[in-house]
Amino acid sequence: MTRALDRPNCPAMSAPTDIQQNGQNEGPPTDAPAAPRGPDVINAYLKTLPASPGVYRMIDAQGDVIYVGKARSLKARVSNYTRFGGHTNRIARMIAATASMEFVTTRTESEALLLEANLIKRFRPRFNVLLRDDKSFPYILIARSHAAPQIMKFRGARKLKGDYFGPFASAGAVNRAINTLQRAFLLRSCSDSVYESRTRPCLLHQIKRCSAPCTGEISPEDYAKLVDEACGFLRGDSQHVREQLKARMMAASDALEFEQAAAIRNRLSALSHVTANQTINPEGFEEADVFGAYQDGGQTCVQVFFFRTGQNWGNRAYFPRADSSIELAEVVDSFIAQFYDDKPVPRLILLSHDVPSRELLAEALSLKAERKVEIRVPQRGAKTGVVEHALANAKEALGRRLAEGASQRRLLEALAESFGLAQVPRRIEVFDNSHVSGTNAVGAMIVAGPDGMVKGQYRKFNIKSADLTPGDDYAMMREVLTRRFKRIAAAAQPTEDESPIDLATVPVTPADLPASEPTIEELDETEDAAFPDKPDLVLIDGGLGQLNVAREVFDSLGITDIALIGVAKGPDRDAGREHFHIPGRERPIMLEARDPVLYFVQRLRDEAHRFAIGAHRARRAKAIAANPLDEIDGIGPTRKRALLHHFGSAKAVSRASVGDLTAVNGISQETAQRIYDHFHERDR
C-alpha cells in the first residue's frame, strides 16, 4: 500500500491506495526561500514528510527525474541531503541539480524496494544504477490451448495458456533443448493450423521426433502422458521420469515387444543427452540464479547463470550504467532489484558479494514471488565453486569489453582523422537497401558507437511509396533517409548551455573532497553522457549518386551538422579498393589496403548489408506464406482453420460452390457468399 504526498505543506495524508508508480507533482511551498535548486529546495519538504517507508524522486529544473530512491523513513533519508559536507561528488551534483521532489509512501520497506525498481526502469534517472541490456529471456512453452499441447519457444508477456519453463540465456539454447526434448517425448511443434490440415504424418514423425497426434498415430490419452512426462522432466523430476521409462522398457522387453522397448531406449538416450549437453551441473541446484560481479576501469560487469531442473541453462553478461564512484556492492544491490522487476524469481539466489539490503531484497522478492526466496553469499562447498566460476566469467567479460572499447575508440579517432571530420563520432549510422527487381523492397539502418554495434538501435524501413519505380535505388534511399531524419529535424531546437554550478549552493566544498578525486567542475566535464539519438556521421552504401540523394534530403530538412560519406566499391567491386565520396571534395579518396579504418568501414558496410538482406528475406517469406483466405473480410483463424481442414487447401476453397462452403462448420450463407465472391470477382 502506498500514499502519494500531494504537497509539502498538506495538513494530512491522503487515504491509502494500492501500489502506484506515480506520485503527485509537488512544487516547493509558497513560503520557502526563493532558490531555484539545491538543499534549500529539499529542506522545504521536510516539515510535511512522514517517518514512514516510501520512495522519493529528485527532479531537475527541466522536469526530468534525475534520481529515484527508497527509504525506511522518508523524513530521515531526505534530511541527509540538506546537511553540508560529507557527500560524494555524485551526491553533491545531484543535490545541486534538484529543483523539486515527489514522494510516494508505502506500507513496508519491501514495497518501497519493488516500487523503486519500477520507477528506475521507467524514468532511467542519470544518477541511478541502470540496467541497460534488459531484453526479455526466451522460455519453453507447452501450450495448452489445444487438445494436443504444442511445445514451442516463447518470448514476451505470458498471455498464452500453458506451462512455461525457463528462463534460458539465449534462443539458441531453447532451440537445442526443444530438439532434444522432441526426441525424448515426441511432442508436436507444429502450429494449430498446420496440425488441423494434416492428412498424413509429417517428416518429424518419420525421423522419430513427433508422435503424430494430428493423424491419430497416438491416442489422446497416451499423448497426454507424454506431455505430463515432459512437464515433470522440465520441473526437475527427471529421476522419476527416468525410472518410469526404465520400468516400461523392461516390461516391454519381458513381453517380447522389442520394437517398443527399443523406442523407449531411444527416449532414455535422448534424456541422457539433455543432461550431458549441459555444463557445470552441481548437485543441489534444482532452481537458482548465480550472480558474479566484477568492477574495473570505472565499469561493472554482472554475470548471471541460470540453473533450472538441476541443469545449467546458460548465462548472460550485463554491464549496468553507474557512476564510477558507486561501490560494487551498491551496484549489485540496485541491479538485482531491477533485474527481477519483470522476471520470475527462483527459490535461491547466490551472490559473489554481499549487498547492504540482502535481507530486505529477500523479503521483497518473496513478496513478489508469493513464496520464500533465499539470497546467500556462499563461503564453502559446491555453491562456492559455482559462484567463483560466475565471478571469473564476469572478470573475463569485462576485460574483453574494456579491450574492445579501447580498440573501438582508437578506430573512431583514426576514422575522424582519415576523413577530416570535425569531431570523433559517437554515433555512426549506415544505410543500405535490399530488394529483388524492386519487389519487397526494404531499407536498413545499423548503428555503431564507442562500444561497437548497437543492435538495439537497428531499424528497418519497408518501402511504402506507391509511385516509386521498381528498382529505383535512389528513390528508395530518399524515402528511407527522409523518414529517418524528418523527426530529428523537427525536434532540433537550439538549447542554451547550462550555467556552471554555483559552489555556494552545493553542500560540499573543495576542502571536503578527498585529494584523489577531481573537482565537481572536472566531473561535469568528463561525465559519460547517454548514447545520443542523433548521429554524428552517416555512411551511405553507394557511390556519388546515393550521396547526392542524401545531400538533397539533408538540405531539404535543414540538417547541416551531420557528416556524410558515400562508400562505393572499386572498379572491379573488389573489397579493399573502396572509393569514399565526401561532400566538398571533387575526387573520392581511397585508403591503404591494410588500413584498420578501411577494415572498420568494411565491417560496418557488411553489417548493414547483412541486416538489409535479412529484413528483405523476412518480408519476402511473409509474402510467399500469405494465404488468400487472410484477405477475406470476416475470416479469422477459427474459420480459416475450419475451411482448410474441410477442403485441404486454399485452392480447393477457391473452387468450392456456395453450397459446399455452407457445409463447413461456422460458415453461414452470408459468409459463404463473401468467400465465393472474393475468388470469383475477376470472372465477372
At 393 the pLDDT is 83
> Which CATH number among 3.40.50.2000, 3.40.50.1450, 3.30.70.20, 3.30.420.10 corresponds to the domain 287-399?
3.30.420.10
pLDDT digits (tens, 9 = 90+) for 599-613: 888 889 889 989 989
Q: Which fold has domain 428-492+534-622?
A: Nucleotidyltransferase; domain 5 (3.30.420)
pLDDT digits (tens, 9 = 90+) for 48-91: 788 888 889 898 888 888 999 888 888 888 888 887 677 888 88
Q: Which fold has domain 628-683?
A: DNA polymerase; domain 1 (1.10.150)
pLDDT digits (tens, 9 = 90+) for 401-439: 777 777 788 889 999 998 888 889 999 999 988 877 667
- The neighbour count for residue 517, using CB atoms within 10 Å, is 12
- Sequence-distant (6+) residues with CB within 8 A of 159 are none
- Range in 128-132, 133-137, 295-299, 552-556 with the lowest mean pLDDT: 133-137
Three-state SS letters, 495-518: CCCCCCCCHHHCCCCHHHCCCCCC
At 429 the pLDDT is 93
* Side chain identity, residue 519: T
Band of residue 530 on the pLDDT scale cut at 50, 70, 90: low
Q: What is the mean pLDDT of residues 378-388?
A: 84
In this predicted structure, the answer to whether residue 661 has a pLDDT above a threshold of 60 is yes
Do the domains at 287-399 and 628-683 have one common CATH topology?
no
Taking each helix axis as running N to C, give the angle between helix 382-419 and helix 596-625, from 0 to 180 degrees, rounded to the nearest 10: 110
Predicted TM-score of the model (pTM): 0.53
At 135 the pLDDT is 60
pLDDT digits (tens, 9 = 90+) for 249-284: 777 777 777 776 777 676 666 665 554 444 444 555
Band of residue 509 on the pLDDT scale cut at 50, 70, 90: very low
Task: Specify the higher pLDDT residue, 68 or 168.
Answer: 68
Mean pLDDT over each residue of the chain, to the nearest integer: 77
At 240 the pLDDT is 62
Pairing of strands 100-106, 2-4: antiparallel
In this predicted structure, the answer to whether residue 175 has a pLDDT above a threshold of 90 is no
Contact 136, 390 (CB under 8 A): no
At 5 the pLDDT is 55
In this predicted structure, the answer to whether residue 163 has a pLDDT above a threshold of 70 is yes
At 22 the pLDDT is 39
Q: What is the DSSP letter of 531?
A: P
Q: How far apart are CA 387 and CA 281, in angstroms?
A: 13
Task: Specify the higher pLDDT residue, 204 or 622.
Answer: 204
- Cα angle 19, 23, 25; round to 5: 170
pLDDT digits (tens, 9 = 90+) for 306-363: 887 666 677 788 888 888 788 898 888 888 888 887 788 888 999 999 988 888 889 8
At 32 the pLDDT is 42
In this predicted structure, the answer to whether residue 499 has a pLDDT above a threshold of 70 is no
* Side chain identity, residue 44: A
Distances (CA, A) of 400 to 352, 451, 565: 20, 11, 30
At 528 the pLDDT is 42
Express as a percent the part of the chain with pLDDT over 90.
6
Express as a percent the part of the chain with pLDDT over 70.
79
In this predicted structure, the answer to whether residue 501 has a pLDDT above a threshold of 60 is no
Domain ranges of the chain: 2-123, 139-276, 287-399, 428-492+534-622, 628-683
At 425 the pLDDT is 92
CATH of domain 2-123: 3.40.1440.10
